[in-house]
Amino acid sequence: MNTQILDELSVYLEKTLSPDPNVRRPAEKYLEQMESNENFGPVLLVLCNKQDLPLHLRISASVTFKNYIKRNWKVNEDIQDKITSNDRQSIKSSITDMMLTSPEQIQLQLSDAISIISREDFPEKWPDLLPALVERLKTGDFNVTNGILRTAHSIFKRYRHEFKSNELWTEIKYVLGVFAVPVTDLFKTLIGLIEQHSNDANAIKIIFSSVLLVTKIFRSLNAQDFPEEFENNMETWMTNFLNLLQYDNPLLKSQSEEAGLIEQVKSQICDNVSLFAQNYGEDFADYLPRFVTAVWNLLTSTSLETKYDLLVSNAIQFISVVAYRPQYRALFENEESLKSICEKIIIPNLFLRDVDIETFEDNPEEYIRKDIERSDVDTRRRAASDLVQALCSQFEKQIVAIFSAYINALLQEYSANPQKNWRQKDVVLFLVTTLASKGQTKKHGATKTSELIDVIQFYESTILPDLADQDVNNFPVIKADDMRYISTFRQQLPKECLLNALPHLVRYMTSNIPVVHTYACHAVERILTLKNPQNTKENMFVPNDLQPFMPHLLSNIMNILQPVTGENEYVIKSFMRVCIILQETIEPYLDNLIVKLTGLLNAISKNPSKPNFNHYLFESFGILIRNACQKNKTLIEKFETNLFPIFNYVLEQDITEFIPYEFQLLSLMLELHDQSIPSVYYDLFPFLLMPVLWERPGYIPALTRLLQAYIEKSSTTIVKEKIMAVLGVFQRLIASKTNDHFAFYILNSLVEHMPSQVMSEYIKQIFFLLFQRLTGSKTTKLVKNLLVFFSLYTYKYGVNEFLNMVESLQNGMFMMVIQNLFIVDLQKVSGNLERKICAVGVSKMLTECQVLLSNEANMKVWVSLLECLIGLFELPEDTTTADDEHFIEIEDTPGYQASFNQLFSASKREPDPFQGQIPNAKVFLAKSLENLSASAPNMVPQLLAQLNPTCQAHLQNYLKEANVQLR
């Protein structure tokens, strides 16, 4: 191996660790460019294993290698494969042994890389992977064993959440055949070794690290179904799981705040038996009572230290799973049992601990993430809350009665000494929210509430008085709870209550406590999403509702937003929502807002770090531009003046995260221009056609959108001058199964807006490319887009022009297109506009094409085509695709979601290619038939008589609606 290459890569790997973005970003770009070079992957593996290289650089090489595999291993037919077949074979032949002999930090990265490779290649293209791992299990070296188990876990864990399919079943069956017996034998061996080495600290830790991985693998291999291989060994697994839950050894106890191995093993066992209680109850029934007892004892004997959080959470989740099932009702229905669960498990685990308060104060993002986003799946509070709801599903009246007594007692303790006992009030607010909410989604908040809890009365008696406190920094946790209550029950609280709350929420935006002002913004944002109950297409809140406190609302939000410290996605999201409600009434505040927001965008463009915040910032710009400039076009220049210098910087520095957003905002501003287009857009256009931009999948949707805007606004100037380059883009996209729909977006815009004399020079070549692609690689998506294009072309240029163009490629082609495309696939066209375009195009073919009426055989085709058109009007869309078709939908494009996010505010408005001339396609068909009937009396009724009765009935309705009588 060339040492110069190794040394050069080491230098760049070192630079990628620099905190300075001016050093780090160029190094990252260099390594990304190197990915296309042969041997890049194998060289990185050599660096991972280079013993004389500092460990941090070896780790960096392993991370870079994993990311390289993640980006490039999956083969995409539309993108040049960056990894040669030799490199693929070289990597697969060496990575397993290297992973097993590497330090743990490197082993973790290489194990993940194996998992990524196996997702594409295992087992068909990598049949020797699993047998090789099983063979190495026999070495007896526990470092090797753990490496094997870690790799197996990384491969198998996806079975936990993959959708069922024959392909998945086949793979799991293969895995079970190779791995189930060895892992069961290893489990028995490990259980035996526990007793032998119970006094050896190092040995028992290594053994338990293997036990932990085995229990995780057990969970993955049983996730989809209960396999025979494990059913035959049920006694072995469950008896030892039960013993492990009850096992204790001081040598395994964690001396830090992190969970120790014994806690992790017990936690995983709780997760495993939850799966069995939930999915395999009949097989698990004999063991369940013993596990309930063991888990209960575990919960009542485990302290409140954070290192036990995951264990307690999973243990409570097991009790919840059991409590939800009516067949286990007898275990809980005793009044004393319910009281004991409430007192000994639920209440203690609802109280905030000092460590939780530290998170609230010192790590607000983490606190908010767990609380607002409900990503608190592993917390005691979330588990206790789930248990409350599980018990309420079976014993709601008893549980509410039990907790009502606790709530009253806790409120009395709080009232006696609020400063000391505020945590009691916090528990009350959390508990009431949990008891009252019987169904909840992130989008809508509480969707169903308990009839036993008066949500509105509690708001008025408890929440509103809290919020009325003028000190916005007083009792911050309580205030955050109050605002979360409003967010949760916004659907149930009447508009008057929410209107009363809004000024308080605006005031709490001035709190200097991050959680408090974030919750205030979040509550406002959630409230403003509400729809008018009488008309769900309208917002509940209108600009006048916000006017009394509008200056404070906007200034308070802007004061929070700061580069780095104030990149708060909830705050910018609340601003976005305010802009949506205000629409053009925001114009008086626009100058200050543009200065503030462009300053913020300029700062974060230097080092983008928070994708959600960035998205909502660009979305806010889009909303401001659309709302303000539609009514007042002079404001466009103000946005362009402020944004273009930042846009230039983004393009010059190739800040890939922002470029798709930039293209979308450029599209929006360009489309809003009525008069002459500023020269800066002309200067940019040649750059947009550069092939290198269209090579990046994440850029294509936004680039296409921008190119359409140029075609619409500048078809006779800059687009006409660069038409060859535009068609080059079309040619590139039409060859791609992934991106061919973007080719049609461009082509349809050209047909709609370009002068016919310009298009006439190139149209035959365009049709040739379309039929070439249809012949070489036909997909349902391609055919649907073709039918729309053919119909639009027919409407724009006439059916005879379409017929002549198709026939010029091959005699008889027109009738083949009608019979094999339109009649077969018209029903598959989706989208209201697309179906209307097809309806109009087909109507013109039926009534203006003499070829279809020239002989008896063609007339039969005419009747079939009309029946298809009536089916398009009356039948649901046909969503079937060919069995052997595997074209990639846009959302499955590798890297698509990561690279491109659609801005709702900048989405392209549906054009009307008919310029308002055809409001109703059914009426258009009726009128067209009337014209045909006038030119050829008696023929049309004779043809219509051949329609099936259902189609005849529908057609009569169209004729009646159009007030047409055929002759």
Nearest CA-CA partner of 759 in 749, 748, 767, 751: 751
**In 417-513, which residue ranges form alpha helices assigned H by DSSP?**
418-436, 455-458, 464-467, 476-488, 495-508
Q: List all residues 6 or more positions away from 923 whose beta carbon is below 8 Å from its beta carbon.
A: 958, 961, 962
Q: Which residues form the domain of 90?
A: 1-121
The domain total for the chain is 1
Check whether 212 has a pLDDT greater than 60: yes
User: What is the mean predicted confidence (pLDDT) over 643-661?
Assistant: 94
Check whether 542 has a pLDDT greater than 50: yes
Check whether 74 has a pLDDT greater than 70: yes
Residue 256's pLDDT is: 85
Contact in structure between 410 and 402 (CB atoms under 8 Å): no
Model confidence over 239-253: pLDDT tens digits?
999 999 999 999 998
d(CA 577, CA 691): 37
Residue 892's pLDDT is: 32
Q: DSSP string of 876-924?
A: PP-----TT--PPPGGGSTTHHHH----GGGPPPPP-TTTTS-S-HHHH
Check whether 899 has a pLDDT greater than 70: no
User: What is the mean predicted confidence (pLDDT) over 480-499?
Assistant: 95
Check whether 376 has a pLDDT greater than 90: no
d(CA 130, CA 151): 10
487 in a structural domain: no
116 in a structural domain: yes
d(CA 449, CA 492): 8
Check whether 463 has a pLDDT greater than 80: yes
Nearest CA-CA partner of 862 in 809, 831, 818, 821: 818
931 in a structural domain: no
d(CA 83, CA 37): 8
Give me the amino acid identity at 141: D
| Token output for 161 | 């959440």
CA dihedral 604, 608, 612, 617 (to 10 degrees): 30
Check whether 889 has a pLDDT greater than 70: no
Chain-wide mean pLDDT for the chain?
Answer: 92
Nearest CA-CA partner of 714 in 750, 740, 689: 750
Q: Using the 8-state DSSP alphabet, how is residue 461 labeled?
A: I
Model confidence over 390-430: pLDDT tens digits?
999 999 999 999 999 999 999 999 999 999 999 999 999 99
9 in a structural domain: yes
Q: Using the 8-state DSSP alphabet, how is residue 346 labeled?
A: I
Q: DSSP string of 220-271?
A: HHTSSS--HHHHTTHHHHHHHHHHHHH---GGGS-SSSS--HHHHHHHHHHH
Residue 618's pLDDT is: 97
pTM of the model: 0.85
More confident residue, 21 or 519: 519
Check whether 493 has a pLDDT greater than 50: yes
d(CA 507, CA 517): 9
Phi-psi region of 140 (alpha: psi -120 to 50; beta: other; left: phi over 0): left
User: What is the mean predicted confidence (pLDDT) over 437-464?
Assistant: 87
63 in a structural domain: yes
Residue 891's pLDDT is: 33
Percent of the chain with pLDDT over 90: 81
User: What is the mean predicted confidence (pLDDT) over 50-60?
Assistant: 93
pLDDT confidence tier of residue 85, bands split at 50, 70 and 90 = very high
444 in a structural domain: no
d(CA 878, CA 867): 15
Nearest CA-CA partner of 119 in 77, 81, 86, 75: 75
Residue 896's pLDDT is: 30
Residue 30 exposure: Cα atoms within 13 Å on the Cβ side: 15
Residue 897's pLDDT is: 35
225 in a structural domain: no
Model confidence over 912-933: pLDDT tens digits?
899 899 999 999 999 999 999 9
822 in a structural domain: no
| Token output for 212 | 């932990």
Check whether 884 has a pLDDT greater than 70: no
Helix (H) or strand (E) run with residue 2 in it: none
pLDDT confidence tier of residue 596, bands split at 50, 70 and 90 = very high
Nearest CA-CA partner of 589 in 618, 546, 530: 546
Residues in the chain: 967
Helix, strand or coil for residue 776?
Answer: helix
Contact in structure between 66 and 112 (CB atoms under 8 Å): yes
For 628-662, b/e burial (b = at least 16 CB within 10 A) is bbeeeeebbebbbebbbebbeebbebebbbbbbbb
